[in-house]
C-alpha cells in the first residue's frame, strides 16, 4: 500500500509566499475544505494517509512536497529556498524517518521539492528562485550512490519546474513548452497542455489514476484521449498560493 504524507492547512495560509502570480485574497476555510477533499481522494485511490497537524506559524506548510524527495531507497530532506519555509522540514524528517534512510541538503544549497522531477533514475531540477546549482551538486553526491543522476533544467515564468512539467508515468510527461524547453526531455513521450491552460502541466499519478484539477478541462480531454483515468479535484483556493496537486502530498512507495 502506498503511504501519502499530508499536512493540514495553516490558519495563516493567506500569508503564504507569492512569487509569480498576483496575490489575491484566500479563504482559509475553503482551502482547508479543498485540502480535506484532496486527502479523501488519496484514500479512495488506496493510499494510507499520514495526516500531520497544521503548523500554525508556517503559512506554506501544507505544501509538503517542497520539504523532501522520497525515492525507493532513500529520502532527501531539502533546504527550501524561502527562509520562511526552512523550518517546515523538521517535522517531515521525523515523519519519514521510520520509512527511509534520510540524507540532507546543506547550506548554501537550496532546493524546493517542487523543482524536482523524478522519472525512473533520472532527476531533473529546475533552476529557479528557490533551487540552485549547489543543490544539484549535493544531490549528485548524496543520491549518485543509489544510481540516480541529477541534472539542471533551465525554466522561465513559473515558480517551480513541476509547474511546467510533471510525470504521467515513467515514459510520459505532461508539459507546458512555453515554460521549459522540450529538448531537456528527449526520449520521453510528451503530452502538451492546451495553450489556453498554462498552469495545466501539474498532475499526480496514484495507483493507476491521475489526480488532476477540475479547472483544466481541455487538457483533461487530452489525457483521457490517451487512455488515462482522471480523478478530478477542486484546488482553486490552494492554487491562489501557487499550489497544485503534487504540492500537497509526499508519496512513499
Domain boundaries, given as residue ranges, for the chain: 3-252
Q: Which three cell numbers stand for residue 176?
A: 507546458
Q: Tell me how far apart the terminal alpha carbons of the chain are, to the nearest angstrom.
A: 8
Q: Which three cell numbers stand for residue 179?
A: 515554460
What average pLDDT does the segment 62-80 reach?
A: 98
Write down the catalytic residue from 16, 35, 158, 160: 160
What average pLDDT does the segment 12-18 reach?
A: 96
User: What local confidence, expressed as pLDDT, does residue 188 receive?
Assistant: 98
Residue with cell 495507483: 207
Q: Which three cell numbers stand for residue 241?
A: 498560493
pLDDT band at 54 (very low <50, low <70, confident <90, very high): very high
For residue 66, pLDDT over 90 is answered with yes
Regarding beta strands 165-169 and 3-7, do their DSSP bridges make them parallel or antiparallel, or are they unpaired?
Answer: unpaired
Q: Are 188 and 153 in contact (CB under 8 A)?
A: no
For residue 252, pLDDT over 90 is answered with yes
What average pLDDT does the segment 60-76 reach?
A: 98
pLDDT over 70, % of the chain: 100
Reported residue count of the chain is: 253
What average pLDDT does the segment 137-141 reach?
A: 98
Q: How far apart are CA 142 and CA 161, in angstroms?
A: 21
Cis peptide before 108 (omega within 30 of 0): yes
Write down the catalytic residue from 16, 47, 203, 247: 247
Is 160 among the residues known to form the active site? Answer: yes
Condensed to tens digits (0 to 9), the pLDDT of residues 153-210 reads 999 999 999 999 999 999 999 999 999 999 999 999 999 999 999 999 999 999 999 9
For residue 1, pLDDT over 90 is answered with no
For residue 131, pLDDT over 90 is answered with yes
Q: Look over the chain and give the mean of its residue pLDDT values, rounded to a whole number.
A: 97
User: What local confidence, expressed as pLDDT, does residue 96 receive?
Assistant: 98
User: What local confidence, expressed as pLDDT, does residue 97 receive?
Assistant: 98
Of 233, 208, 207, the closest CA to residue 220 belongs to 233
Residue with cell 498560493: 241
Condensed to tens digits (0 to 9), the pLDDT of residues 78-124 reads 999 999 999 999 999 999 999 999 999 999 999 999 999 999 999 99
In this structure, what are the phi and psi dihedrals at residue 118, rounded to the nearest 5 degrees? -105, 120
Q: How far apart are CA 115 and CA 156, in angstroms?
A: 12
CATH of domain 3-252: 3.75.10.10
For residue 148, pLDDT over 90 is answered with yes
Amino acid at each position: 500500500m502506498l503511504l501519502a504524507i499530508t499536512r493540514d492547512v495553516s490558519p495563516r495560509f493567506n500569508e503564504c509566499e507569492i512569487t509569480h502570480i498576483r496575490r489575491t485574497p484566500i479563504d482559509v476555510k475553503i482551502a482547508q475544505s479543498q485540502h480535506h477533499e484532496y486527502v479523501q481522494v488519496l484514500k479512495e485511490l488506496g493510499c494510507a494517509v499520514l495526516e500531520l497537524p497544521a503548523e500554525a506559524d508556517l503559512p506554506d506548510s501544507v505544501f509538503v512536497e517542497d520539504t523532501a524527495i522520497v525515492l525507493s531507497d532513500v529520502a532527501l530532506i531539502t533546504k527550501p529556498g524561502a527562509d520562511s519555509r526552512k523550518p517546515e522540514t523538521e517535522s517531515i524528517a521525523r515523519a519519514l524517518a521510520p520509512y527511509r534512510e534520510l540524507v540532507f541538503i546543506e547550506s548554501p544549497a537550496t532546493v524546493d521539492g517542487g523543482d524536482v522531477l523524478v522519472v525512473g533514475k533520472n532527476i531533473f531540477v529546475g533552476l529557479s528562485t528557490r533551487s540552485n546549482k549547489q543543490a544539484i551538486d549535493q544531490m549528485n553526491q548524496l543520491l549518485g550512490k543509489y544510481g540516480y543522476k541529477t541534472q539542471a533544467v533551465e525554466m522561465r515564468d513559473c515558480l517551480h519546474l513541476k509547474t511546467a512539467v510533471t510525470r504521467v508515468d515513467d515514459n510520459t510527461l505532461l508539459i507546458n513548452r512555453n515554460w521549459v524547453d522540450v529538448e531537456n526531455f528527449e526520449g520521453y513521450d510528451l503530452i502538451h497542455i492546451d495553450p489556453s491552460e498554462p498552469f495545466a502541466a501539474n498532475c499526480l499519478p496514484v495507483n493507476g489514476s491521475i489526480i488532476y484539477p477540475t479547472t483544466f478541462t481541455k487538457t483533461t480531454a487530452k489525457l483521457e484521449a490517451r487512455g488515462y483515468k482522471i480523478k478530478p479535484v477542486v484546488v482553486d483556493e490552494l492554487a491562489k498560493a501557487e499550489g497544485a496537486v503534487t504540492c500537497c502530498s509526499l508519496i512513499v512507495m
